[in-house]
Homo-oligomer: A and B are copies of this chain.
Amino acid sequence: MRADAQRNAARLRTAAAELFGEQGLQVSLKEIARRAGVSHGTLYNLFGSREALLDEVVADLAATRLGEAARRALACPGAWEGFAGYVTEVCELQAVDPAMGDVLTRRFPDASRLMAVCDNSFAAAESIIERARLDGSLRSDFTASDLLFFFASHAPLARAAASAGSDAWRRGVSFMLDGLRAAAAKPIAVEPMSAEQINRLLMP
């Protein structure tokens, strides 16, 4: 790879990171090129697709952010506090960082590394949930799909609220958490969706 191409790729990566962080994962590719000070042809030349860009720019970041949150949750002495902290932390990520919001909210099947991150996060969420369920603090009918569903519905408004300077999304999270304690649970008739069903739901 020639030196100038490398420079351009770097510029594009940082521009993409900025714009994904400001506007979410579906900014126009031409706008990314514009911000990088490069022709959009070059972007297509160097990356070929939005998905490739996502894999290079967002996947690692998301992995560490979500991984950290999960790690903290499992390291927490109380299973419930771990779970509740995890939910809150992820919601905060969503509210503050549009890119993170979209990672949990949209699916880009061709971004394989990103998809892997999603799968890992789902697995991590399952552990966190499992721990709190076994512990008796989390209601026993709550599944990782339910959590994913909640995250997905939560993200857009939380982001809007946060960018309007409000923390009000925290209220919704609190209400939800209060409903997830085992003590609060009333029986539910409906089955949860499978992870695949939700994934299909989130495809663009």
Contact = CB atoms under 8 A, between A and B. Distances in A.
Nearest to A150: B172
Contact of A190 (B149, B170, B177, B183): B170
Contact of A149 (B139, B171, B180, B200): B171
Nearest to A165: B197
A186 B175 CA distance: 8
Nearest to A175: B179
Interface in A173-204: 174-181, 183-186, 188-193, 197, 200-201
A164 B193 CA distance: 11
Nearest to A152: B157
A120 interface: no
Interface string A144-170: 011001101110111011001011111
A171 B188 contact: yes
Interface string A133-149: 00000010010011001
Nearest to A186: B178
Contact of A160 (B160, B169, B201): B201
Contacts of A188: 170-171, 174
A185 B179 contact: no
- How many copies are assembled? 2
A154 B149 CA distance: 10
A166 B149 CA distance: 12
A166 B191 CA distance: 9
Interface of A: 139, 142, 145-146, 149-150, 152-154, 156-158, 160-161, 164, 166-172, 174-181, 183-186, 188-193, 197, 200-201
List of 8 A-B pairs having minimum Cβ-Cβ separation, nearest first: A179-B179, A178-B179, A184-B184, A153-B157, A168-B193, A175-B179, A178-B184, A170-B190
Given A146-B171, A168-B191, 12 more contacts: A146-B175, A149-B168, A152-B157, A153-B154, A157-B201, A161-B201, A164-B197, A171-B190, A175-B176, A175-B179, A176-B179, A179-B179
